[in-house]
């Protein structure tokens, strides 16, 4: 698809667009664009709406064929219900649904008007930039399709239909809004491209997306990005740095581990943030092998790594004035004669000894080396993103991640970013009382908690906290929302790309602070 554009309303009648979306509300007058189209359509649209009031209710699409009365071939009147209940998320969904609706109807180009609102339900203010961003974001996110491995012609044709839409434009009502929308479009295009990079990496088969593949991808994606630097620790360098936890988890695999260190140092910045992403390219559980039913989606266990690498790339593209270090420890967790075993003890880079209680609790092991390394960088903040525990999915389901931190500023900032992006988070408490549960009888720590996985997400968080020193740190357990079996208005089955928009929103706000 081409890069979206924005046009001012005065040009639209002459503009070549095949399909147009006209949003209507149940409690508000229709906008001038609607009026114009209604007149061109000999008032057929308003008559239909007057006779069928329910068409203004939320999420109602009504199609009008224009029969050459307008340049556009198709008009979809979309009911959005009450204007006072309008939210950024509704706009994002409108964007996504508009894409799918017209993709099925073979339209090549689609136009959506900006909706003016003083306030949106889920945000403090409703600046036109936000509206433009949400509509475009939903539309572009919905256009994603992972079809690299489809070989059957009919299947491909069916999927291809989606790709028929080649352009999207926003219609604005004045020139200032036009300029602002163009800015939003530039930003959101970069963001969505990177969400799709995350999706591609996660959807990729695990025998292709190995630690080395992720390292090569980082190289490729960051190669021409200004102010970035990439270092890759291979097995030798990991050994030299005593990163024995990363090495240990990967020692049963034929694929060698990599620690990817990507830095972005803009000319001007006040804050430094280290972002760490769990990069288990396949989590079989190791010697504590997972059973059928749990193995099938474990290629998504590198979602954190994909998110942090795409985040640093996006930050460089958007020229965010914040220094970033992305750490992605990448390993494969496999059972074999050389694999680590329950009962083993590993001393990683931090010097703390860890007894292996369960080889399937591998994420916290590789993160411990990365967190220790991060703490030596003395950043303002450390944030890790990890598909860390099944317990998190039990607690919060597949729509929400768990945040754990002792820093109120970080918690507030991430919660705010979560509201803006609708990438949901919920806090779990790092209860000190549970710290005893990760003590070992023979080593400093053990990598599992007590009982039958009681407070499994929290004890995992407490384990990580052992390696951050006195840094301000947040752990985000993204085990639930990175993957979906259903798909929604702007996500498809499989990898959702969750986390990238959350991180960028957080960093954008942070970079505004002194």
Question: Pairing between strand 323-333 and 272-277?
Answer: parallel
Q: Provide, rounded to whole angstroms, the least separation between the CB of residue 363 and Zn ion.
A: 4
Residue 339 contacts by C-beta under 8 Å, 6 or more apart in sequence? 251, 252, 286, 287, 359
Residue 448 makes contact with ligand BES by CB under 6 A:
yes
Within residues 278-297, the interface with ligand BES by CB under 6 A covers: 283
Residue 385 makes contact with ligand BES by CB under 6 A:
no
From residue 77, alpha-carbon distances to 21, 63, 71 in Å are 6, 6, 16
CA atoms of 450 and 455, how far apart (whole Å): 8
CA atoms of 276 and 278, how far apart (whole Å): 7
Q: Which residues pair with 261 in a beta bridge?
A: 231, 327
Quote the tokens at residue 337: 């004669």
Determine whether 105 is an active site residue: no
Residue 343: how many CB atoms within 10 A of its CB?
A: 10
Q: Provide, rounded to whole angstroms, the least separation between the CB of residue 390 and ligand BES.
A: 3
CB-wise, 64 or 282, nearer to Mg ion? 282
Residue 488 makes contact with ligand BES by CB under 6 A:
no
Point out the residue whose Cβ comes nearest to ligand BES.
390
Residue 355 makes contact with Zn ion by CB under 5 A:
no
Question: Pairing between strand 345-347 and 353-355?
Answer: antiparallel
Residue 283 makes contact with Zn ion by CB under 5 A:
yes
Q: Provide, rounded to whole angstroms, the least separation between the CB of residue 459 and ligand BES.
A: 8
Residue 363 makes contact with Zn ion by CB under 5 A:
yes
CB-wise, 173 or 294, nearer to ligand BES? 294
3-state secondary structure of 232: strand
Catalytic residue among 290, 411, 416, 435: 290
CB-wise, 137 or 283, nearer to Zn ion? 283
Size of the site for ligand BES (CB under 6 A): 17
Residue 456 makes contact with ligand BES by CB under 6 A:
yes
Residue 151 contacts by C-beta under 8 Å, 6 or more apart in sequence? none
Which segment (211-219, 227-235, 305-313, 357-365) binds ligand BES by CB under 6 A?
Answer: 357-365
Q: Provide, rounded to whole angstroms, the least separation between the CB of residue 77 and Zn ion.
A: 47
Q: Residues 306-345: x/- map of binding to Zn ion (CB under 5 A)?
A: ----------------------------------------
Which residues are at the interface with Mg ion (CB under 5 A)? Answer: 283, 360, 362
Question: Pairing between strand 345-347 and 424-427?
Answer: unpaired
Concatenated DSSP letters of 284-332 = --TTSPPPTTTSTTGGGGGHHHHHHHHHHHHHHHTT-SSEEEEEEEEEE
Determine whether 364 is an active site residue: yes
Q: Which residues pair with 475 in a beta bridge?
A: 384, 404
Q: Which residues pair with 5 in a beta bridge?
A: 169
Catalytic site residues?
290, 364
Give the footprint of ligand BES on this chain (CB under 6 A).
Answer: 283, 301, 358, 360-363, 387-391, 393, 448, 453, 456, 479
């Amino acid at each position: 698809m081409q890069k979206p554009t924005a046009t001012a309303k005065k040009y639209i009648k002459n503009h070549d667009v095949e399909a147009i979306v006209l949003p209507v509300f149940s409690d508000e007058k229709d906008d001038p664009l609607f009026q114009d189209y209604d007149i061109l359509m000999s008032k057929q649209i308003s008559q239909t709406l007057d006779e069928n009031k329910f068409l203004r209710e939320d999420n109602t699409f009504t199609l009008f064929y224009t029969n050459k009365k307008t340049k556009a071939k198709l008009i979809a009147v979309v009911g959005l219900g009450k204007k006072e209940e309008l939210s950024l998320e509704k706009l994002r969904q409108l964007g996504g649904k508009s894409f799918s609706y017209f993709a099925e109807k073979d339209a090549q180009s689609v136009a959506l008007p900006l909706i003016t609102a003083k306030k949106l339900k889920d945000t403090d203010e409703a600046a036109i930039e936000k509206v433009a961003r949400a509509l475009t974001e939903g539309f572009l996110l919905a256009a994603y399709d992972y079809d690299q491995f489809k070989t059957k012609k009919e299947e491909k044709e069916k999927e291809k239909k989606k790709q028929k839409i080649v352009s999207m434009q926003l219609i604005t009502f004045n020139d200032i809004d036009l300029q602002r929308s163009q800015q939003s479009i530039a930003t959101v295009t970069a963001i969505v491209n990177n969400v799709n990079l995350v999706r591609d990496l996660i959807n990729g088969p695990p025998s292709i997306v190995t630690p080395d593949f992720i390292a090569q991808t980082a190289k490729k994606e960051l190669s021409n990005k200004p102010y970035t630097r990439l270092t890759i620790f291979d097995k030798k360098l990991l050994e030299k740095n005593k990163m024995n936890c990363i090495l240990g988890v990967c020692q049963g695999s034929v694929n060698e581990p990599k620690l990817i260190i990507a830095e972005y140092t803009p000319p001007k910045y006040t804050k430094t943030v280290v972002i760490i992403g769990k990069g288990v390219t396949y989590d079989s559980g190791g010697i504590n092998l997972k059973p059928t039913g749990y193995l099938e989606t474990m290629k998504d266990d590198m979602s954190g790594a994909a998110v942090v690498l795409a985040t640093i790339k996006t930050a460089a593209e958007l020229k965010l004035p914040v220094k970033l270090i992305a750490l992605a420890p990448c390993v494969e967790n496999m059972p074999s004669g050389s694999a680590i075993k329950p009962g083993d003890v590993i001393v990683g880079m931090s010097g703390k000894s860890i007894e292996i209680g369960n080889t399937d609790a591998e994420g916290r092991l590789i993160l411990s080396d990365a967190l220790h390394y991060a703490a030596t960088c003395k950043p303002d903040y450390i944030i890790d993103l990890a598909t860390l525990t099944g317990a998190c999915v039990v607690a919060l389901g597949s729509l929400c991640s768990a945040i754990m931190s002792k820093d109120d500023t970080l918690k507030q900032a991430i919660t705010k970013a979560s509201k803006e992006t609708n990438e949901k988070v919920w806090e779990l408490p790092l209860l000190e009382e549970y710290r005893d549960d990760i003590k070992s009888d023979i080593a400093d720590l053990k990598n599992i908690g007590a009982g039958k996985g009681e407070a499994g997400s929290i004890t995992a968080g407490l384990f990580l906290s052992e390696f951050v020193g006195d840094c301000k740190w947040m752990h985000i357990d993204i085990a639930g929302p990175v993957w979906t079996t259903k798909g929604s208005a702007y996500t498809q089955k499989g990898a959702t790309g969750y986390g990238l928009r959350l991180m960028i929103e957080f960093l954008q706000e942070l970079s505004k602070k002194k």
